[in-house]
Amino acid sequence: MPHPMPEGQEPLLSVTGLTKLFGSFKACDGIDLSIGHGEIHALLGENGAGKSTLVKMLFGILAPSAGAISWFGKETVIPNPAAARRLGIGMVFQHFSLFEALTVAENIALSLDEKISISDLSKKAAELSVAYGLPLDPDAHVADLSVGERQRIEIVRALLQNPKLIILDEPTSVLTPQEADKLFETLFKLKAEGRSVLYISHRLEEVQRICDRATVLRHGRVTGACDPRQETPASLARMMVGAEVAGVEKVEPSANGDIQLQVTDLSVSPRTPFAMSLKNVSVTVRGGEVLAIAGVAGNGQSELFDALSGEYPVRDAEAIRLRGRAVGRLGINERRLLGAGFVPEERHGHAAVPAMSLSENLFLSRNASDRSAYLSGGKLGLIRHGLVQQAARRISEMMDVRKSGDDPAAGSLSGGNLQKFIVGRELDRQPSVLVVNQPTWGVDAGAASRIRQALVDLAKSGSAVIVISQDLDEIFEVATSIAAISEGRLSEAYPAGTMTRERIGILMGGVHGPEAVQSSTAESAHAH
């Protein structure tokens, strides 16, 4: 049911009955889609809906099992990404493919199909970056650049191929609101030149704002199409999920809870040449509070999580106090024994072992005290697998984890379902303090709503919750207080009700204190 092309317009790209089989599983099932010239077209869907598989076929990474792709009205085969680029299709992936030790120009050169000298390439890249409002220094090393600047490299090197169609996968997930606005200006410029954009995003307000048409996938099929400007975020989410997506019932702010986590002048030196140092971080979180820490990726979030979780203990024991006890030098298991829980950013390999079952992952995550409940004969007994599997089922039901079998391997779950299980695994322990890094990264609207509500409910029960997130919609949905991290420095925490997107963006840019308030006020006045 494709939304009709504007009258009299021939599509730039169209697919008919496009299907991709993995064994007997249909990742894409008879997809029909058309993209017009000079159009920004949204591709929407839950995790596992088939979006990634579809664009990989369009970019020549995967070969279709059935169906046809037409380019300028002529049926074509796209055997590999080089062929896609020759046709005029460029792609910017969600996860960047950049070598940090190389310069901007050297990274761009590695991706080009034609041979060109670094000096000529630097000149072309600089001119192109200025023309499209994506300023870059070709001689800068990637390690020294912000995430927003790194994304510009990916876009500029796609533009150097002179594409007619650019595929963007979650392009604003690592940007401040101000950087996102600049990106949208670039997209409108591309549209004005007659180029087209296929735009994948879970941020439905963005889709409404910039996209001309939208195609919705669910379970590998096209289930809806619309003009997103005539929809609401709620109606778009309903099309994606197939049902109403419940809103999050926030916890009411309160300063009456006991201090559960206190960080005082925490400084941590970088562990690797490309890591960020933490500089005099101080924050207090009480029971019943959800502190959200905003920031652009690469500004110290991972280092802060590692310090709070005890994965990398710090020198000063007093720098981190958990429920009144100095824990800076204690490891993660000792902090878990004191009632803390932790959900890292990386699901595969960090939060879960992909090849192991859900129940085995659950058992691994428990500390010695928790594990004894699943052992016969105390701490040195045999594992009571039935009890562990029963607990894994309970968590799956609580978090609506959708899986292929009773106790499948963690790696067989979609990203959103695995994330629900990992969060549920920590909530099952009812921790007094929970630290979560990017809780709904790459997760669809339905799963995100369930995870966010679970975090809020934990705070309502009296626990302290710290959410490190790049998603401002998420932050406003769950937080009672908000701080921002920039270049390893954490701002003061402000009541969520006093914050705006502009003010958070300014804090994320490193302007803290009274200057942030002044800048925010000036920017709001200018906007009006």
Same domain membership, residue 455 and residue 326: yes
Query: Which of 241, 271, 287 delimits the end of a domain?
Result: 241
Quote the pLDDT of residue 5: 60
The string of pLDDT tens digits covering residues 86-103 is 999 999 887 778 898 899
Could you tell me which residues come within 8 angstroms of residue 355 by beta carbon, excluding any fewer than 6 positions away?
Answer: 409, 410, 411
**Torsion angle, alpha carbons of 493, 496, 499, 501, to 10:** 110
DSSP state of 59: T
Going by C-alpha positions, the residue among 41, 12, 11, 48 that lies closest to residue 27 is 48
Evaluate if residue 456 carries a pLDDT over 60. yes
Q: What are phi and psi of 114, to 5 degrees?
A: -95, 155
Q: What pLDDT is stored for residue 520 in this prediction?
A: 45
The three-class DSSP label of residue 362 is: helix
Residue at 335 is within a domain: yes
What lies within 8 Å, CB to CB, of 514 at 6+ separation is none
Among 74-83, 321-330, 517-526, which stretch is predicted with the lowest mean pLDDT? 517-526
Q: Is residue 250 part of a domain?
A: no
- Ramachandran region, residue 204 (left: φ > 0; alpha: ψ -120 to 50; beta: rest): alpha
Sequence-separated (6 or more) residues with CB below 8 Å from residue 62: 20, 53, 56
Cβ neighbours, 10 Å, residue 110: 12
Angle at which helices 385-399 and 415-427 pack, to 10 degrees?
110
Give the separation between CA 190 and CA 179, rounded to whole angstroms. 17
Q: What is the reported pLDDT for 70?
A: 97
User: Above pLDDT 70, what percent of the chain?
Assistant: 91
pLDDT greater at residue 146 or residue 192:
192
| pLDDT (0 to 100) of residue 180 | 84
Does 247 score more than 50 pLDDT? yes
pTM greater than the 0.75 cutoff: no
Q: How many domains does the chain have?
A: 2
Question: Where does the pLDDT of residue 266 fall: very low under 50, low under 70, confident under 90, or very high at 90 and above?
Answer: very high
Q: What is the mean pLDDT of residues 62-88?
A: 95
Classify residue 402: in a domain, yes or no: no
Residue 37, pLDDT score = 95
Greater confidence (451 vs 466) lies with 466
Give dist(CA 15, CA 71) in Å, integer: 9
325 occurs within a structural domain = yes
Whether pLDDT at 528 is above 50: no
Does 45 share its domain with 188? yes
Q: Please give the Cα distance from 471 to 172 (Å, whole number).
A: 9
In the prediction, which pLDDT does 91 show? 92
Q: What is the pLDDT of residue 526?
A: 45
Helix axes 177-192, 147-159, angle to 10 degrees: 10
Q: Which of 105-119, 314-328, 453-467 has the lowest mean pLDDT?
A: 105-119
Lowest mean pLDDT among 10-24, 113-127, 276-290: 113-127
237 and 263 together in one domain? no
Claim to verify: residue 330 and residue 437 sit in the same structural domain: yes
The tokens for 14 are: 């169209």
CB 436, CB 301: distance < 8 Å: no
Count of residues making up the chain: 528
Is pLDDT at 236 greater than 90 in this prediction?
no
| Residue 516 clears pLDDT 60, i.e. is over it | no
* Burial of 223 (C-beta count, 10 Å sphere; 0-12/13-18/19+): middle
Same domain, 328 and 212: no
Tens digit of each residue's pLDDT (9 = 90 or more) over 371-422: 667 777 665 667 778 888 999 999 999 888 877 788 999 988 877 788 889 9
Q: Is the pLDDT of residue 474 over 70?
A: yes
Buried b (16+ CB within 10 A) or exposed e, 381-413: eeeeeeebbebbeebbeebebebeeebebbeeb
Name the strand (E) or helix (H) holding 335.
helix 332-337
Residue 524 has pLDDT above 50, yes or no: no
Burial class from Cβ neighbours inside 10 Å (0-12, 13-18, 19+) for residue 52 reads buried
pLDDT in the model for residue 525? 44
pLDDT score, position 379:
59
Domain co-membership, 236 together with 288: no
Residue 308 covered by a domain: yes
What local confidence, expressed as pLDDT, does residue 6 receive? 60
281 and 236 housed in the same domain: no
Same domain, 191 and 335: no
Q: What is the mean pLDDT of residues 267-283?
A: 89
CA atoms of 515 and 521, how far apart (whole Å): 10
Question: Do 232 and 328 fall within a single domain?
Answer: no
Judgement on whether residues 157 and 88 belong to the same structural domain of the protein: yes
For residues 197 and 278, membership in a common domain is answered with no
Residue 519's pLDDT is 47
Widest CA span in the chain:
77
The Cα 458–Cα 269 span in angstroms is 33
Q: Give residue 452's pLDDT.
A: 93
Rg (CA), the chain: 24
Strand partners, 466: 291, 435
> What are the pLDDT digits (tens) for 205-229?
899 999 999 999 988 999 989 999 9
Long-range contacts of 272-281 (CB under 8 A, 24+ apart): 273/143, 274/100, 274/143, 275/303, 276/300, 276/302, 276/303, 276/487, 276/488, 277/303, 277/488, 278/303, 278/304, 278/307, 278/488, 279/487, 279/488, 279/489, 280/489, 281/488, 281/489, 281/490
Domain-located, residue 400: no
DSSP 357: B
Domain of 171, CATH number, reads 3.40.50.300
Would 401 be classed as within a structural domain? no
47 and 169: one domain?
yes
Residue 181: inside a domain, yes or no? yes
Q: What pLDDT is attached to residue 377? A: 64
Is residue 15 a contact partner of residue 67, using CB atoms and an 8 Å limit? yes
Mean pLDDT of the chain: 87
Domain enclosing residue 517, as ranges = 259-339+431-527
The confidence band for 490, taking pLDDT boundaries of 50, 70 and 90, is very high
Task: Out of 215, 241, 267, pick the residue that ends a domain.
Answer: 241
What per-residue confidence (pLDDT) applies to 31?
Answer: 96
Q: Per-residue pLDDT for 521 more than 70?
A: no
Q: How far apart are CA 309 and CA 316, in angstroms?
A: 15
